[in-house]
Structures are given as structure tokens and as C-alpha cells.
């Protein structure tokens, strides 16, 4: 069997970036949650906030560590699997990745030690500053990475010179046409991921009748954040959809599942399709009448453009883009529904006792990660067959490496990353199962203990049953 090195290089990078993105998404979301929680503790001196902070600090630390390790691999893959991309676009991508390391990563590394191990060694205000700096560092890191990726989606500020891309305007490279929309979309997705992770764990405790006060406070905070964030995300997503329709119409045409140059009027909103890419049609399609016109064109009789508007050689694979987008969209609908229900239950005083709602939150614990992956697949597969949209095709960016070598490294990545993921799940589930009563040793460090963190450490916070 002949193996295609282009396909293997894409699969290898897709696998490693899929695994990696899970952990920055969690750590970005939890970093902001920890900042707000510690601020509330400083304001109220309620030890329950301190207990919440210590509990989630451990899960944040593990996700941050795994994210750093797996992120380094991606940088090497640019040079190993996509050497031609590095040669052609290195003058653009290289400085942005370097600036991400010099600014965000150094900021995170400089304050992470204080955040993790300094709780009983420095004053509370200095510790809070460290938490803020780490949270800001995660946002700054996301800003640089999203700027680089958005430039690949909507390139600007460059010109061809001797077969390479050179920068003509750094401002237009960094603040490219889609970055101002994709960055808040990604950050909000990360914060929603953290909110539903916290809410799911809190709901689990409430269903089991454990750590009741701890769980109630977590659930109340998480659903408050979720209500605000999901409303913002729907608004941002609509703006991003319009911007990508302007700059990458093929991606959005594939995401909606239509083939004809213009859909029927009124257009349905398609939920399920079996596409036939070769014959440019859907074998099967199931949708909601009128909803496509209402949702996509904001009118009752609007038409939706199909993928046939894009030449076949420039079309992405519709099935992957369509179902990636639907995964993100359906989960967003579920998040919005639960957020609305939470407001009603809170109003009626049943937020912590409605068991079907708590079970739904437990199911939705990983929903933010799944939605983020769906959105990421939509963005990356929808850009194909280009690695730099409209400028450099993926087939022209791959290194001249034998397919067998790529297959071997792919298998090695799968094995090693499976161990990483299993270890992360085992330790995270152990922390959740034990609850806030049994925190790892670094949460309370012995030694000099200036008040008031020292008092909280010596008091031996017990689980609020």
C-alpha cells in the first residue's frame, strides 16, 4: 500500500495539536477562575474561597505542565514535517513564536513558582499578583498563537521575495483581518471550558451529597460566569462567521453543507448530511425548514451560497468541516440552554437540588474541550488545501520525508501521548474523588508562613460537608 506523506504529515500534526490544545484551553479557563476566586478571598476573607482556590490550583498546575511539554513538540514539527513551510514563512511565523516565548512564557514561568509554592511563603497581595500575572501570561500566549494562526487563515502585510515571504508591515501581520475576532472567540471558549469543568465537578459532589458548601459555591460561581460567557460567545461567533465568510467563503460554505451556488429559498438549516464530494451533492440531508435563512442571512427568504462557488481544487473536505462546525454549534446550544435553565432554577431557589440539571452538568463537564476541538477542526480543515490561505498549498509545504518515517513517528506520538493523557486523567480524577480535604503537598507548604495565609494553612481547612 502506498502511503501519502502529505496526508501522514497532516494527520501527525492534527493529532499532536488536538492533544495539545486540550490543556491550554483548560489552563487559560482555570487561570481566570483562580484569579477571581483569590480576589474574592482577599475581599471577603471567607476561607471557603481559599479552599476552592487550593483545589483548582492543583488541576491547573497539571494542565499547564502537560500543555507546555506538548506545545514544544509543535514547534519542532514545523521544521521536521513542514520544512518548506518553515523556509518560506519562517520570517513571519518565527518572530511571533519567539515573541510568545519571550513575553508570555517568561511571564508565566517567572510567577508560576510563586503561585504554586509561595502561598505560605509570601504575603497574600504578592501571591495574588503572581496569580494575576500567570493568568495574564496565558492570555498573552493565546494572543500571539492566535495572531500567528489567524495570519495563516487571513494573511496580510507580506510580499513574495525570491521564493520566500517577507514582512512589509508588521502591524498588518499581527493585527491581521481575522485576529480581532478569532482571539476573543478562543478566549471565551477557554473560559467557558473552565466554567463547565468547575460546574460539572460541583454537580458531581452535590449528587453524591459530599462537600456541600464547597460544591454550592463552585456551582454558583461557575454558572454565573457561564451565563455571561455563552451570551458573549454567541455574539462573537456571529461576528466571526461574517468575517470568515468574507475572507474564507469556502470554509463557511462547507460548514453549512450546501453544494449549489445558491440554496433554495427559504433555506433549511442542515443538521445531518452524507456528502458526495466527487459529485458535488448530498446523498442524504436532514434540516430544519426556514432556519437556514433566518440564522445565516437574518431574513425569512435568504439564500445560502454553496461549495460549488469554489473551484474543486480549492475545496476543503465538506464532511470534516460540516461536522466539526456542528459539534461546536450543538454544544454551544446545550450550554446556552443550561445557562438559561440555571437562571430560572436560581430564581426559584432550586439550583443546587434539581437532580436532572445536576446530572446534565456532569455530562457537560468536558463540553468546552469538545466544542473547542470542533471549532479548531472547522478552522484548520476548512483552510485546506492551503497552509497559508490563498498563498501556499499544504502539499508544497511538507518536508521531503519518507512516508514510513512519518508513520513511525505518528505511532510513537500516539503511544507517548496516550500515556500522558492517561496520567493526567488518573491524577485529575483522583483529586476530584478525594475532594478538597486531601490536597497534594504543594498546596500547603511548610516553612515561614506570614499571615494571613499562614493562619489559613495552620487551621487545616476541612471539607464543608
The answer to whether residues 258 and 305 touch, using CB atoms and an 8 Å cutoff, is yes
pLDDT, position 97? 87
Here the contacts of 115-119 (C-beta below 8 Å, separation 24 or greater) are 115/57, 116/57, 116/61, 116/442, 117/442, 117/445, 118/445, 119/54, 119/443, 119/444, 119/445, 119/453, 119/457
Lowest mean pLDDT among 120-134, 247-261, 292-306: 292-306
The answer to whether residue 159 is domain-embedded is: yes
Per-residue pLDDT averaged across 441-447, rounded? 41
The answer to whether residue 387 is domain-embedded is: yes
442 pLDDT more than 50? no
pLDDT, position 444? 42
* CA–CA gap between residue 92 and residue 109 (Å, rounded): 25
The answer to whether residues 67 and 41 touch, using CB atoms and an 8 Å cutoff, is no
Residue 286, number of CB atoms within 10 A of its CB: 11
* CA–CA gap between residue 410 and residue 428 (Å, rounded): 26
The answer to whether residues 50 and 41 touch, using CB atoms and an 8 Å cutoff, is yes
pLDDT, position 448? 37
The answer to whether residue 330 is domain-embedded is: yes
φ/ψ (deg, to 5) at 158: -135, 165
Per-residue pLDDT averaged across 273-277, rounded? 92
List, as one string, the DSSP characters of 410-436.
Answer: HHHHHHHHHHHHHHHHHHHHHHHHH-T
Confidence of residue 349 (pLDDT cuts 50, 70, 90): very high
The answer to whether residue 415 is domain-embedded is: yes
* CA–CA gap between residue 458 and residue 268 (Å, rounded): 63
List, as one string, the DSSP characters of 40-63.
Answer: HHHHH--HHHHHHHHHHHHHHHHH
0.85 surpassed by pTM: yes
389-421 pLDDT per residue, tens: 989 999 998 888 888 888 898 899 899 889 989
CA–chain centroid gap for 93, Å, is: 21
Confidence of residue 458 (pLDDT cuts 50, 70, 90): very low
CA–chain centroid gap for 238, Å, is: 18
First to last CA, the chain: 61
pLDDT, position 186? 95
- Largest CA-CA distance found in the chain, in angstroms, rounded: 72
Q: Based on the structure, what is the number of domains in the chain?
A: 1
Confidence of residue 304 (pLDDT cuts 50, 70, 90): confident
More confident residue, 225 or 297: 225
Cis omega (within 30 of 0) for bond into 57: no
The answer to whether residues 259 and 307 touch, using CB atoms and an 8 Å cutoff, is yes
The answer to whether residue 276 is domain-embedded is: no
The answer to whether residues 111 and 140 touch, using CB atoms and an 8 Å cutoff, is no
Q: Indicate left, alpha or beta for 317 from its phi (over 0: left) and psi (-120 to 50: alpha).
A: beta
Here the contacts of 47-53 (C-beta below 8 Å, separation 24 or greater) are 47/456, 47/459, 47/461, 48/213, 48/214, 48/217, 48/464, 49/217, 50/456, 50/461, 51/214, 51/436, 51/461, 51/464, 52/214, 52/217, 52/218, 52/221, 52/436
Lowest mean pLDDT among 99-103, 274-278, 383-387: 99-103
**Matching residue, cell 511571533:** 96
The answer to whether residue 178 is domain-embedded is: yes
Q: List the domain range (segments joined by +) for residue 315.
A: 5-257+306-458
225-239 pLDDT per residue, tens: 999 999 999 999 989
Give the list of residues 6+ apart from residue 102 with CB closer than 8 angstroms, or none: none
The answer to whether residue 414 is domain-embedded is: yes
The answer to whether residue 282 is domain-embedded is: no
How would you class 363 by CB atoms within 10 Å of its CB: exposed for 0-12, middle for 13-18, buried for 19 or more? Answer: exposed
* CA–CA gap between residue 35 and residue 286 (Å, rounded): 45
* CA–CA gap between residue 177 and residue 179 (Å, rounded): 6
* CA–CA gap between residue 215 and residue 174 (Å, rounded): 42
* CA–CA gap between residue 290 and residue 62 (Å, rounded): 46
More confident residue, 76 or 395: 395
198-225 pLDDT per residue, tens: 999 999 999 999 899 999 999 999 999 9
Amino acid at each position: 500500500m502506498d502511503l501519502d506523506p502529505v496526508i501522514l504529515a497532516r494527520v501527525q500534526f492534527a493529532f499532536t495539536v488536538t492533544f495539545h490544545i486540550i490543556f491550554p484551553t483548560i489552563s487559560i479557563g482555570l487561570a481566570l477562575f483562580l484569579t477571581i476566586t483569590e480576589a474574592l478571598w482577599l475581599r471577603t476573607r471567607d476561607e471557603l474561597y481559599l479552599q476552592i482556590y487550593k483545589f483548582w490550583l492543583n488541576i491547573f498546575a497539571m494542565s499547564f505542565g502537560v500543555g507546555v511539554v506538548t506545545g514544544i513538540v509543535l514547534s519542532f514539527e514545523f521544521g521536521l514535517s513542514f520544512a518548506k513551510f518553515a523556509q518560506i514563512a519562517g520570517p513571519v511565523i518565527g518572530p511571533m513564536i519567539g515573541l510568545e516565548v519571550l513575553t508570555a512564557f517568561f511571564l508565566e514561568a517567572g510567577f508560576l513558582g510563586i503561585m504554586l509554592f509561595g502561598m505560605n511563603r509570601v504575603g497574600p497581595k504578592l501571591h495574588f499578583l503572581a496569580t494575576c500575572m500567570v493568568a495574564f501570561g496565558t492570555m498573552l500566549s493565546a494572543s500571539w498563537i492566535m495572531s500567528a494562526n489567524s495570519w495563516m487563515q487571513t494573511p496580510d502585510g507580506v510580499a513574495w521575495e525570491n521564493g520566500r515571504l517577507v514582512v512589509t508591515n508588521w502591524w498588518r501581520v499581527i493585527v491581521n483581518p481575522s485576529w480581532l475576532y478569532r482571539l476573543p472567540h478562543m478566549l471565551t471558549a477557554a473560559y467557558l471550558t473552565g466554567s463547565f469543568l468547575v460546574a460539572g465537578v460541583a454537580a458531581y459532589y452535590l449528587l453524591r451529597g459530599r462537600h456541600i458548601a464547597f460544591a454550592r459555591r463552585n456551582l454558583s460561581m461557575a454558572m454565573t460566569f457561564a451565563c455571561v460567557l455563552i451570551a458573549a460567545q454567541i455574539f462573537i461567533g456571529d461576528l466571526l462567521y461574517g468575517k470568515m465568510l468574507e475572507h474564507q467563503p469556502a470554509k463557511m460554505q462547507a460548514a453549512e453543507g450546501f453544494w449549489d451556488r445558491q440554496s433554495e429559498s427559504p433555506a433549511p438549516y442542515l443538521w445531518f448530511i452524507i456528502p458526495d464530494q466527487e459529485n458535488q451533492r448530498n446523498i442524504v440531508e436532514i434540516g430544519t425548514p426556514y432556519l437556514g435563512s433566518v440564522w445565516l442571512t437574518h431574513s425569512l427568504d435568504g439564500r445560502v451560497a454553496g461549495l460549488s462557488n469554489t473551484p474543486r481544487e480549492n475545496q476543503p473536505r465538506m464532511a470534516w468541516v460540516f461536522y466539526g462546525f456542528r459539534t461546536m454549534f450543538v454544544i454551544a446550544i446545550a450550554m446556552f440552554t443550561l445557562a438559561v435553565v440555571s437562571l430560572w432554577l436560581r430564581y426559584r431557589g432550586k439550583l443546587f437540588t434539581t437532580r436532572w440539571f445536576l446530572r446534565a452538568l456532569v455530562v457537560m463537564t468536558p463540553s468546552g474541550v469538545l466544542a473547542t476541538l470542533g471549532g479548531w477542526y472547522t478552522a484548520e480543515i476548512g483552510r485546506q488545501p492551503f497552509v497559508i490561505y490563498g498563498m501556499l498549498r499544504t502539499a508544497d509545504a511538507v518536508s521531503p520525508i519518507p512516508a514510513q518515517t512519518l508513520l513511525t513517528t505518528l505511532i510513537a506520538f500516539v503511544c507517548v501521548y496516550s500515556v500522558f493523557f492517561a496520567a493526567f486523567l488518573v491524577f485529575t480524577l483522583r483529586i476530584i474523588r478525594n475532594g478538597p480535604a486531601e490536597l497534594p503537598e504543594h498546596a500547603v507548604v511548610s516553612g515561614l508562613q506570614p499571615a494571613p495565609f499562614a493562619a489559613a494553612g495552620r487551621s487545616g481547612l476541612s471539607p464543608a460537608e
